[in-house]
Amino acid sequence: MKRRHLLAAGVGVAAASAGLGWALRRYTTGSAGGEEAAGTARPVDFWNLRFETPDGGEVVLASLRGRPLLLNFWATWCPPCIEEMPLLDRFQREHQGAGWQVLGLAVEAAQPVREFLSRRPVGFTIGLAAMQGVALSRALGNAGGALPFSVVFDTRGEAVERKLGVLNWVDLTAWARRVR
């Protein structure tokens, strides 16, 4: 009986891995809007991407270009991601006057994100990236696809800082001083 459960679990994991691999390959080959430029870590059309928001709206990355942007990939099932949410919220409040924007891209289905935000609202924009977020974070330099992962874009739209793992106030304030 135990062997049968292990076998079933193994088949499930293999199927899920195959599906994830197919989705990532499809995204990075361009059929989902994420073609990579040869030799670069940033998708060619990054600023043309759009994501649904939890309230049914849409965040258009092109509308964020021209001002410093802190992009954070997160998920509700990721304890370190949840740990840094208040810090990101504080950063947004304290630096929006200097033009800073914070965008959290949730790397999961919409419903858990909506439920989480109903209990713990944030003052920065959240986009629903689902599996596209994993491929996008990899294209931006997150080779392992782990969370949380953050990228800072300067006013020219160039990725100038990256961090895998939980952010801290020292990182954020240093970036705010350097990036204009």
86-97 pLDDT, tens digit per residue, is 999 999 999 999
55-75 pLDDT per residue, tens? 999 999 999 999 999 999 999
Residue 4 has a pLDDT of: 52
Instruction: Tell me the HSE value of 180 on the side-chain side, using a 13 A CA sphere.
Output: 2
Query: How many structural domains does the chain have?
Result: 1
**Position 33 in a domain:** no
Q: Give 31's pLDDT tier (boundaries 50, 70, 90).
A: very low
Give the C-alpha separation, 115 to 119, whole Å. Answer: 7
In a domain, residue 136? The reply is yes
Q: Which residues, at least 6 apart from 141, have a Cβ–Cβ distance to it below 8 Å? A: 41, 151, 159, 162
Task: Render pLDDT for 141-151 as a digit per residue (tens, 0 to 9).
Answer: 999 999 999 99
Question: CA 45 from chain center: how many Å?
Answer: 16
The CATH number of the domain holding residue 46 is 3.40.30.10
pLDDT (average), residues 126-137: 95
**31 part of a folded domain:** no
Which residue range is the domain that position 53 belongs to? 41-178
For residue 1, the model assigns a pLDDT of: 52
